[in-house]
Structure 1
Amino acid sequence: MSFYQIDILTALSGGLNVVPLYVIFLLESGLYTFKKKIGLVNLRLYVSLKLFCFNAMQQRKNVIFVVSVGSLLLCLKLTADLKRWPRAQNELPTIKSLYMSEVMTFINEGSPITDLTNLEQKEEIILRKNISESLYKLAPNVFDAVPEEFLPKFRNPCWRSQLSGEGGLMTSPPLKCLPYFFLAGMPKSGTTDVHDKLHTHPQVFRARVKEPHWWTRKRFTGTSVLQYIGGQSINIAKQLVKGSDPSIIMGDSSASTFWDNIKWRQFFPQENIGPPHVNAEVISTVLPKSQIIVTFRDPTARLFSDFHYFNKHDYDKGPSIFHSQVKEYLRRFKSCLANKKDNRTCAYDLQTESKVRASIGLYSVYLRDWLKVFPRDQIKVIRLEDWQTNCTQMLPQLFEFLQLRKLDSTDIKKKCRRHPSNVNKRPTKQMLPETKQLLKEFYRPFNVELAQLLNDDKYLWEDSAL
């Protein structure tokens, strides 16, 4: 029975006196009492039967279809479910609205969705082609709002939505733009300085906020895609509308983008092997041509700097407090592994389970996830230690990576002489030698993996002065 037949059956049910035998059979099967297992095709039928039962019970004309106690109880249950539907003026919901409500309940509850028999049905649920149901569940607000194609005349991903004005006439809506590049991490690894020097190039336009943290945090707390776009792309959109250089670009410099997936357990609570999807996959799906820049720093030094940046402690007690918190984190990580979880799962699970953010230093875990969804040539990795000593060589490399106009060496030197940004000036004592040893041993296997991924032994940080 097709969806259209079901819809017609439901629409006419108020005036029918006889119910086709196949409907009775379907009711008798009891299949629809197990909503979470029926799949999307049967879900559509379930919704139609729910409306059918409601009409029949209300008008009391179609009692012939209640041929057993099981059918009666099922119909009573469906009718009771429908009466709880919030509707204005007791207006019965449409099949489409009720169906989509059931679908979103499935998605939000993490229930399995099966029986996607054709592309039309799949598009109706996840609203985008070639996106799995579980990935859609992680970012429905993104997939619903971002188009599959952008205006070809601009290098930055921009589009205009189709809006109608007064009298049905088409108006020219504001230009909307998403980032062309992401300066994606890591915190306390020079991202602010790299951000400032990148934006000295005349083809790079500043977003309104350097670190909106939208892809990792704000989109889960009520900030919509359009709010994010409106705040971030206003500068570049104005220039593109005016007919400025179509090759100008805009980026997002949130240092959390590369590693922060702290919300993943809310969507996949039963997973035992780490998140099935991370933010990198969301970004790669809607912005597959994104250029990703990542700054790494000796993870031991990064953690100590991070600790002092976000915590104020007595000058003398700081190193001992840091030491005790590091020991507690290492204990938690070891306990996580003992529970038959792997390094990746523990890295993501412990991102917010400690007062020291040691999980951020497990660079190889995050880089491996990004390399699963982005080509290697779209990810530019630099070390803070190299950036600090050789800006004049590395800044042109970043400009080239972003396909920006080449600048002369004198201009590059001038830009690199700018005072480094966001340097922590709070006085601190050096970390205790025993703390340093614990962290060096903990991070060593991850550094080895990182060096192998990047084919560069510099990422072992054996030359670190810390």
Structure 2
Amino acid sequence: MIVKIDEKHAQFADLAFECLVCTPVMRIPIDLNVLGFRDLLPQIRTVPGSFTLEHSLLTLWVMQEGAAMGTYTFSRDVLDGFISEAFTGTPPNPCQDCVTTIYDIKNILSLHGYLSESKKVDSNAEEHGIRCVGQLSNTAEDLFCMDRPKYLPNLKNPCWYAKENGRFRLKCVPYYHILGVCKSGTTDLAYRIRAHEHVLSCSDCVKGKETFYWCRRRYGYDVNMKSMSPCNFSCFQDKFAEAAKRIEETSKEAGYHTLITGDATPSDFNDFRGWPKIPQNVGLEKPVVLTPHLMRHVYTDPKFILILRNPADRLYSDFMMMSGSSAADFHKAVSRDIQIEENCMKNYTVEQCLYSLDIAKRLRTRIYLGCYSVFMREWLKVFPREQFLILRTEDHDQDPKAQLAKVFNYLNLNYTQEWITSIAKLPHQHASKKKILMGPMLEKTRVLLDNFYSRYKKDMADLLQDKRFLWLT
């Protein structure tokens, strides 16, 4: 969309467009003595992109010493680039000595995060050899057929304006993800993070923190892996609609806005069982696209938090939560499941066995979730190490204040020592009472699990250059 503006008043025109695209609630009475503009639709209360509630056109009057030089009319459709020419009228009192400058309004809008509805692959996906193939029969939505959102630079949380039902609305996705892992303290950690005044919850989420979008719902599975209607990317955004509303309501005309929201789905890190439903993987024996690739297409600077627990202890707690009845029952289930996984790995790759929905359905435990290094390597193929804050459950339990300080620093959230001390003293959330009643794991079961997990723990310690992830003590 190209618009002609007199060069003498270019700085004022630029300012006007800046106001129009930046201000969710526009109140722009222009002072003629200061800016040289006539009132620009004063007291309009609407969102950017539908500049007036009564009309579909926006009119800008460029003034010279109080006399109208020209009238420039823009259809709201300019925001999607549908109108190629929007100049109307002849300046009644033209400036004879001025040079006309061409302004590309689409470029200005783009700088402020406005999206067109065109479909194309971003360069990052292409660098990974991933291209849009479109949604196929019985597959999930192809995220690579959409542009990555152009996030607004004045918001800390990743948000952008997108057209919805003829209006532009603020859309947001999480600033941070607690990726995992299950039964390692993710609920407790998420609860303490949300205690910060700048952190907003997600809407209609499990425990107020879990969307299950990336690991299950986008593939048409519910929390328990039962079939349901798939949740597309728009559905995922809806989980943060209330957060977006709060962010928009508290945004001002200038400045940097610090409210954020997050997703703490503890299966995102290590549940890749939906991979055959990713369009780029159809017909393949091994996946070429996994959750990290999908997230990399959406996010520019994600904050990933992992809290990892000794995998044997994690599995015992997980089993008791799911269906376990006793330590002896757990031993029987573990013995059987180790055999199933090891038999699979004799004929297939470790990844094929750990990412298989068919194998998982045969297991009584989720033993595969504790093979942390296999999943960590997938994430590090796509994201740099500094994109992750990796904690241990054992450290969080022993010194919650120190671990919370790491988290809040990583998320760039301010705090006082008095406040973080009070947050660290909050009661532990979602502690397993059933495991306490059933007593400790049998020693012979621990030996079995330590042996099974030993190579993955060693690999993880080597990968992170941190011996704490050997869980020797």
Give the TM-score normalised by the residue count of structure 2.
0.65
Q: 2:259 aligned with 1:248, yes or no?
A: yes
Q: 2:166 aligned with 1:195, yes or no?
A: no
Residue 448 of structure 1 corresponds to which residue in structure 2?
A: 458
Give the TM-score normalised by the residue count of structure 1.
0.66
Q: 2:346 aligned with 1:338, yes or no?
A: yes
Residue 320 (structure 1) shift: 2.1
Gaps of 5+ in 1: 1-122, 166-170
- Counterparts of 2:176 and 2:282 in 1: how far apart (Å)? 31
Aligned length: 328
Deviation sequence 1:267-323 (CA, Å, 0-9, x none): 546544x4222111100121131110011000000000000001152xxxx222211
CA 1:416–1:161 in 2, change beyond 3 Å: closer, same or farther?
A: same
What letter matches 1:372 in structure 2?
K
Residue 212 of structure 2 corresponds to which residue in structure 1?
A: 213
Residue 179 (structure 1) shift: 0.8
Verify the 8 A CA contact 1:451 1:458 in the aligned structure 2: yes
Residue 284 of structure 1 corresponds to which residue in structure 2?
A: 296
| Equivalent runs, 1:74-113 vs 2, <5 Å | none
Verify the 8 A CA contact 1:183 1:294 in the aligned structure 2: yes
Residue 133 of structure 1 corresponds to which residue in structure 2?
A: 131
Verify the 8 A CA contact 1:143 1:286 in the aligned structure 2: no
Verify the 8 A CA contact 1:236 1:249 in the aligned structure 2: no
CA 1:125–1:394 in 2, change beyond 3 Å: closer, same or farther?
A: closer
Residue 324 (structure 1) shift: 1.7
What letter matches 1:175 in structure 2?
L
Residue 370 of structure 1 corresponds to which residue in structure 2?
A: 379
Which structure dedicates a bigger proportion of its chain to strand?
2
- Counterparts of 1:134 and 1:329 in 2: how far apart (Å)? 38
CA 1:352–1:152 in 2, change beyond 3 Å: closer, same or farther?
A: farther
Gaps of 5+ in 2: 1-116, 221-229
Task: Describe the SS at the equivalent of 2:155.
Answer: coil
Deviation sequence 1:215-255 (CA, Å, 0-9, x none): 11111222222222122231243232332661211111101
Residue 429 of structure 1 corresponds to which residue in structure 2?
A: 439
Residue 461 of structure 1 corresponds to which residue in structure 2?
A: 471
Residue 178 of structure 2 corresponds to which residue in structure 1?
A: 183
CA 1:402–1:351 in 2, change beyond 3 Å: closer, same or farther?
A: farther
Which structure dedicates a bigger proportion of its chain to helix?
1
Residue 389 of structure 1 corresponds to which residue in structure 2?
A: 398
Verify the 8 A CA contact 1:262 1:352 in the aligned structure 2: no
- Counterparts of 2:164 and 2:373 in 1: how far apart (Å)? 45
Residue 174 (structure 1) shift: 2.1
CA 1:421–1:178 in 2, change beyond 3 Å: closer, same or farther?
A: same
Residue 351 (structure 1) shift: 4.0
Q: For 1:298, which of 300, 310, 314 is the aligned residue?
A: 310
Residue 162 (structure 1) shift: 3.5
Verify the 8 A CA contact 2:219 2:231 in the aligned structure 1: yes
What letter matches 1:461 in structure 2?
W
Verify the 8 A CA contact 2:122 2:148 in the aligned structure 1: no
Mean Cα displacement is larger for which, 241-250 or 435-444?
241-250
Deviation sequence 1:151-191 (CA, Å, 0-9, x none): 111121111113574xxxxx4x2211011110010000000
Q: For 1:439, which of 429, 445, 449 is the aligned residue?
A: 449
